[in-house]
Structure 1
Amino acid sequence: MESDSVECVSVTEGLDEEEVTMPRHRLHKPLGAAAPLPPKGISPSTSVHELLECPVCTNAMYPPIHQCRNGHTLCSTCKLRVHNRCPTCRQELGDIRCLALEKVAESLELPCKYCTLGCPEIFPYYSKLKHEAQCNFRPYNCPYAGSECSVVGDIPFLVAHLRDDHRVDMHTGCTFNHRYVKSNPREVENATWMLTVFYCFGHYFCLHFEAFQLGMAPVYMAFLRFMGDENEARKFNYSLEVGANGRKLIWEGTPRSIRDSHRKVRDSHDGLIIQRNMALFFSGGDRKELKLRVTGRIWKEQPNPDPGVCIPNLCTRIPS
């Protein structure tokens, strides 16, 4: 969608209404934020560790580890990629296993590869891979959905990246009031409006709004994503509301973590979905222009109170 075809107005607590335009495509910076050093006394680049590094893909090798007749090793995935020829000496690989190196690997304990991002954990060699796939310190993908962006990093780095490279709208507050405008909504297919980022409760949230085809029906969808892990995301709830002319649609749910891709959230329909005819009805007028106002709020889930404890506004005392 072209940037001049959409008007998006955001109103948050203590902020005046302002116009928002979609950002132009910009070059994405590589991951380059300063990171803490690994724990003292641990060197992931020891000579043994280097022996277990595949010379083709440079990843750690896991059984089966293959070798040629001259003793050069490589991982099983790359063995297929090099068409059974040793990448070092070009000898035929055959099906020779390097059992000695596999035995050495069993005795190793190594730090998580995300130690430079803050992970303090150390694992036996064969447990390390499973941990790294779920490590809470592994980098996040950029949540911007308006273009293909391959930038990864931690949350502070991605917030700066969204602000500086994608020019997203940044707000502080837990309530919002957005107005999405399109002069000819019937031309809008598979369009993404500009991402908006909110900072509240010490965390960042991404508000998405877009148009796409749901089966044969054109629809609009709004949903919220949490910039953090799934466990933290479950501590929050949010609501979205749209309506006019005496009608109203309300959605309440838990924000999805940005660990889940934008497409995955959208395709699961986990958000407020508005059919185009209803959106045009909410817009009023002659139904030839989209003027859709979406309001919402974010709140933190409170822990369940102990039985018998009365919290104001949450329970009512029964008279004797």
Structure 2
Amino acid sequence: MASGNPFYDDLRNKPEVIDPPESEDLVEIVSESSVNDPAQIALKPNLTVSSSVRELLECPVCLNAMYPPIHQCSNGHTLCSGCKPRVHNRCPTCRHELGNIRCLALEKVAASLELPCKYQSYGCMGIYPYYSKLKHESQCIFRPYNCPYAGSECTVMGDIPYLVAHLKDDHKVDMHNGSTFNHRYVKQNPHEVENATWMLTVFSCFGQYFCLHFEAFQLGMAPVYMAFLRFMGDDNESKNYSYSLEVGGNGRKMSWQGVPRSIRDSHKKVRDSFDGLIIQRNMALFFSGGDRKELKLRVTGRIWKEQ
């Protein structure tokens, strides 16, 4: 919402998230396991933090939570360390010079607070110290997933059931039940790879969902095709499954066996790591047969659960 102050609003349009710096006096040391394990954090259902206290800890420029060092002007107005250079060392509230005054009292108030995870509505019931909360949220197992649909900049986020419905209804993705697949890929002009051609199919098996990607892209100067599987869940769960892919023709075939990557890893990250079945265009056209003017590939595969 606009504040009426153009200087103020211009800065708010460029938010910047600052990682909380290490501070022996203020940061509670939390183990890697407890940061992401609500069972390790005492639940305090009666804990409430007034909105006025939360507002005190909100930077008036970027609107993000403030972490040490928290700066203040001579009139007591506070500002996060990330926004201090952006306002040219002048308080955005009263325009006085900021100097190097730290608001130690507010930093200590923050150190005494314990707050619920922002993903509470997704199922996280943990209560975390103010200075540990940000780290927990970056790793929280309840945090929503990004839409795994490739080929567009879809910004939808949600839990797995929501994303499955979203893929089906909004992206019109093919949905299949079962752990085996026979995927046919046809392209009439296989020499055009500049505009990446991709397909996505979602498979439901073992009570989980998997995304099969098949696409064309440029690998250096060579156009290639790639097929790979992603798991709709976290990385620790994806390692419980394996999959195989096979493509061939004219009495030849290529095969691949791997572990599906979690959709926590972006589609581009998986593709750029070459973690899948890669087929050079010339080989793909050879598999297709005919006059090499049309790509006709059939990719078969299987998903299984490791014992």
Q: TM-score range by the shorter chain?
A: 0.7 to 0.9
Alignment of 1:22-171 (within 5 A): 40-43=45-48, 46-171=51-176
Q: Find the partner of 1:176 among 170, 177, 181.
A: 181
Cα distance change of structure 1 residues 177 and 43 upon mapping to structure 2, 3 Å threshold: farther
SS at match of 1:133: helix
Name the CA distance, whole Å, in 1 between partners of 2:89 and 2:172.
Answer: 48
Cα distance change of structure 1 residues 231 and 45 upon mapping to structure 2, 3 Å threshold: farther
Residue 200 (structure 1) aligns with = 205
Residue 296 (structure 2) aligns with = 291
The answer (yes or no) to whether the contact 2:189–2:293 under 8 Å persists in 1 is: yes
Cα distance change of structure 1 residues 44 and 146 upon mapping to structure 2, 3 Å threshold: farther
* Count, aligned residues: 265
Name the CA distance, whole Å, in 2 between partners of 1:207 and 1:95.
Answer: 54
Runs of 4+ aligned structure 1 residues displaced above 6 Å come to: none
Name the CA distance, whole Å, in 2 between partners of 1:85 and 1:163.
Answer: 51
Shift of 1:100: 0.5
Aligned AA for 1:56? V
Cα-to-partner distance string for 1:162-214 (whole Å, 9 max, x where unaligned): 11211111111111111110111001334132311111111111111111111
Aligned AA for 1:58? L
Shift of 1:44: 5.6
Q: Find the partner of 2:234 among 201, 225, 229.
A: 229
Cα-to-partner distance string for 1:251-276 (whole Å, 9 max, x where unaligned): 11110011111110001000000000
Aligned AA for 1:238? Y
The answer (yes or no) to whether the contact 1:212–1:219 under 8 Å persists in 2 is: yes
Task: Quote the sequence identity (%).
Answer: 82
Q: Find the partner of 1:282 among 279, 287, 299.
A: 287
Name the CA distance, whole Å, in 1 between partners of 2:44 and 2:143.
Answer: 17
Name the CA distance, whole Å, in 1 between partners of 2:211 and 2:289.
Answer: 28
Say which is worse superposed, 121-130 or 289-298, in terms of deviation. Answer: 121-130
The answer (yes or no) to whether the contact 1:84–1:93 under 8 Å persists in 2 is: yes
SS at match of 1:89: coil
SS at match of 2:171: coil
SS at match of 1:96: coil
2:287 pairs with 1:252: no
Aligned AA for 2:172? R
Residue 185 (structure 1) aligns with = 190
Q: What runs of 5+ residues in structure 2 fail to find an aligned partner? A: 1-42
Cα distance change of structure 1 residues 44 and 186 upon mapping to structure 2, 3 Å threshold: farther
TM-score (norm 2): 0.82
The answer (yes or no) to whether the contact 1:145–1:192 under 8 Å persists in 2 is: no
Q: Find the partner of 1:264 among 261, 269, 274.
A: 269
Aligned AA for 1:173? G
Cα-to-partner distance string for 1:50-82 (whole Å, 9 max, x where unaligned): 321222222221101111222111211122333
- RMSD of aligned alpha carbons: 1.7
Say which is worse superposed, 64-73 or 190-199, in terms of deviation. Answer: 190-199
Cα distance change of structure 1 residues 269 and 101 upon mapping to structure 2, 3 Å threshold: same
Residue 3 (structure 2) aligns with = none
Higher relative contact order (CA 8 A, sep 6+): 1
SS at match of 2:226: strand
The answer (yes or no) to whether the contact 2:193–2:218 under 8 Å persists in 1 is: no
The answer (yes or no) to whether the contact 1:39–1:120 under 8 Å persists in 2 is: no
Q: What runs of 5+ residues in structure 1 fail to find an aligned partner? A: 1-37, 303-320
TM-score (norm 1): 0.79
Residue 20 (structure 2) aligns with = none
Name the CA distance, whole Å, in 1 between partners of 2:242 and 2:193.
Answer: 30
Shift of 1:91: 2.5
Residue 26 (structure 2) aligns with = none
Residue 301 (structure 1) aligns with = 306
Name the CA distance, whole Å, in 1 between partners of 2:278 and 2:50.
Answer: 50
